[in-house]
Amino acid sequence: MLDLKYIKENAEAVKKNVADRFMTVDVDRVIELYDRRNVLISEIDGLRQKRNENAKKMKGPMEQAERQKLIEEGKKLKEDIAKIEEEFSGVETELKEEASKVPNMAHPDAPIGKEDKDNLEIKRSGKVPAFGFKARDHIELGTELDLIDFDTAAKVSGAKFYYLKNEAVILEMALSRYAVDMVMKHGFTPTITPDIAKEEILEGIGFNPRGDESNIYSIEDTGTCLVGTAEITLGGYFANQIINSEELPVKMAGISHCFRREAGAAGQYSKGLYRVHQFSKVEMFIFCKPKDADDFHEEIRGIEEEIFSSLDIPFRVVDTCTGDLGAPAYRKYDLEAWMPGRGDNGGWGEITSTSNCTDYQARRLGIRFKDDDGKNKHVYMLNGTAIALSRAIIAIMENFQTEDGSIRIPEKLVPYTGFDIIKKK
């Protein structure tokens, strides 16, 4: 959520930002509701003041007639207050609803564009493999080598689920541990987080847990949901708290399962492990002071690059365009790995994403710190994928395949897997 006063005072900039993101939000309505709300607050507060004064007069002993008069006056005030309070609560509800649709401001350098193809490539790393044979995709490889079973998962759990088997299991655990070691080296506290979170936390992070469009699984009658990422549970960690400013930055890494409904998601790029209802992920999260956020964003991106370049996975980095930023994000970088099995001749597929969400999430979650000037301010919150295991597995399987259908293991990972090649049995 943006600061309402900010929206009012910067209406034109806010509207431009909404347009740049190709969203439709009625900014004027937000301001109108905000103004109305403030008028009502003044009225209510004035009446309450009278009510309190009236009640105070009745403290001591007094004539019955006089007391009766005051009681009547109090009753009248009570009714007046109730009337305005009713309008106020309606306005407040609508204001909150409308205001939460307003996206975060975008970084001035974020490329302006509508969809992912407008993202700006800013870097490439590693060499796209040149095979002397027709590259197979991970589905074919995984079936051949008995590593992934989609068909049985479809029977047992539904489409877009999978069983990982044999070496793929070890590979997933190895990658997970590799990423955890890497983020620990960079000062992140490793955590294993709950896979379920309350709706209010989801909303605070900027997810919409309800509705057909929602990518979130809700758990009936509990007010909770399955998390789509540990960003939710890490971000909610300090909800409604004031963090000691000496404790900042707080750097945490969460290992969790991730559940996504992916309603309506289909097409050739959703095949296999690429877009599934459940996967596991190691996520980085930083709470920091505003002035440090840009630097930490670069740091997170650097760690992501370090993880994938050390695994010899070719990738490129894109600066996400305004239309492709999530509503809470001020700026976002994605790492896209080369996936030889994608499309006809291979293609880039997103493997990590890191966002600087400034104070957008902190405002609704109530996460603050006491600044040097003695005032409480919202912290800035950043998140980034250390490793999304299912997609990392795609990248390894497809980039490290050999002509005979085996899969080599990246050198740095061999100490973690205990084997250096996956061969047909």
Partner RNA sequence: GGAGAGAUGGCCGAGCGGUCGAAGGCGCACGCUUGGAAAGCGUGUGUAUCGCAAGGUACCGGGGGUUCGAAUCCCCCUCUCUCCGCCA
- 49 labelled as ligand-binding? no
3-state secondary structure of 287: strand
Residue placing its CB nearer to RNA in the complex, 377 or 412: 377
58 binds RNA (CB under 7 A): yes
Residue placing its CB nearer to RNA in the complex, 42 or 270: 42
Q: Which of residues 238-297 bind RNA (CB under 7 A)?
A: 242
4 binds RNA (CB under 7 A): yes
- 283 labelled as ligand-binding? yes
The CB-of-189 to RNA minimum distance in angstroms stands at 22
The CB-of-13 to RNA minimum distance in angstroms stands at 19
Please pick, from the candidates 10, 22, 26, 54, the single residue that binds RNA as defined by CB under 7 A: 54
DSSP 61: -
83 binds RNA (CB under 7 A): no
Question: What are the structure tokens assigned to 63, written together?
Answer: 């004539």
Residue placing its CB nearer to RNA in the complex, 268 or 376: 376
How far apart CA 216 and CA 219 sit, in angstroms, is: 10
Stretch that binds RNA, among 68-76, 266-274, 333-341, 352-360 (CB under 7 A): 68-76
* Cβ neighbours, 10 Å, residue 63: 8
The CB-of-201 to RNA minimum distance in angstroms stands at 13
Contact between residue 352 and residue 387 where contact means Cβ atoms under 8 Å apart: yes
**DSSP-assigned beta bridge partners for residue 382:** 286, 356
Q: x/- site string to RNA, residues 362 to 391, per CB under 7 A?
A: ------x-x-----x---------------
The CB-of-39 to RNA minimum distance in angstroms stands at 8
Please pick, from the candidates 15, 16, 29, 51, the single residue that binds RNA as defined by CB under 7 A: 51
The CB-of-158 to RNA minimum distance in angstroms stands at 25
Question: What are the structure tokens assigned to 276, written together?
Answer: 């599934």
CA 189 to chain centre: 19
Q: 185-192 long-range contacts, Cβ below 8 Å, gap at least 24?
A: 186/251, 186/299, 186/303, 187/251, 188/251, 188/252, 188/253, 188/284, 189/251, 189/252, 189/253, 190/253, 190/255, 191/234, 191/252, 191/253, 191/254, 191/255, 192/254, 192/255, 192/256
The CB-of-305 to RNA minimum distance in angstroms stands at 37
423 binds RNA (CB under 7 A): no
Residue closest to 331 by CA, chosen among 365, 304, 296, 362: 296
- 279 labelled as ligand-binding? yes
- 278 labelled as ligand-binding? yes
69 binds RNA (CB under 7 A): no
Residue closest to 301 by CA, chosen among 265, 351, 260: 351
Stretch that binds RNA, among 73-81, 157-165, 299-307, 326-334 (CB under 7 A): 73-81
How far apart CA 100 and CA 117 sit, in angstroms, is: 27
334 class by beta-carbon count within 10 Å (0-12 exposed, 13-18 middle, 19+ buried): buried
Cis peptide before 249 (omega within 30 of 0): yes
Residues in the site for RNA, rule: CB under 7 A? 4-5, 38, 41-42, 44-46, 48-49, 51-56, 58-59, 70-71, 74-75, 77-78, 242, 368, 370, 376
Where is the binding site for L-serine, in residues? 229-231, 260, 283, 383, 385
